[in-house]
Amino acid sequence: MANIKSSKKAIKVIAKKTENNHELKARVKNLIKETEKAIANGDKESANTLYKDVQKYLDQATSKGFIKTNTSIRQKTRLSNKIKNMK
């Protein structure tokens, strides 16, 4: 345990940032799964709305450095192609 006041504050800040980071990663993964389910069910409208959210949060994760740029682009491309090919 830290004894210095600034070290104690740093521990709190790190804990809060870690929590926010996990939240964003989980949100991205869950949105991708929900979009995949909507595509599997054939619901094009909800798939499109979920895809917009996926794009937003993937871009946020990319800008913060959680996900590499090419990974983000690849995931968005695959989802958009699946939505386009829906019948």
Each as own residue / partner, the long-range contacts of residues 46-50 (CB below 8 Å, 24 or more positions apart, any chain) are: 47/83, 47/86, 48/83
Residue 8, pLDDT > 90, answer: yes
Q: Which residue has the tokens 């450095």?
A: 65
In tens, the pLDDT along 55-77 reads 999 999 999 998 999 999 999 99
47, 83 Cβ separation under 8 angstroms: yes
At 14-61, the pLDDT tens digits run: 999 999 999 999 999 999 999 999 999 999 999 999 999 999 999 999
Cα–Cα distance, 19 to 15 (Å, whole number): 6
What pLDDT score does 34 carry?
Answer: 97
**pTM for this prediction:** 0.83
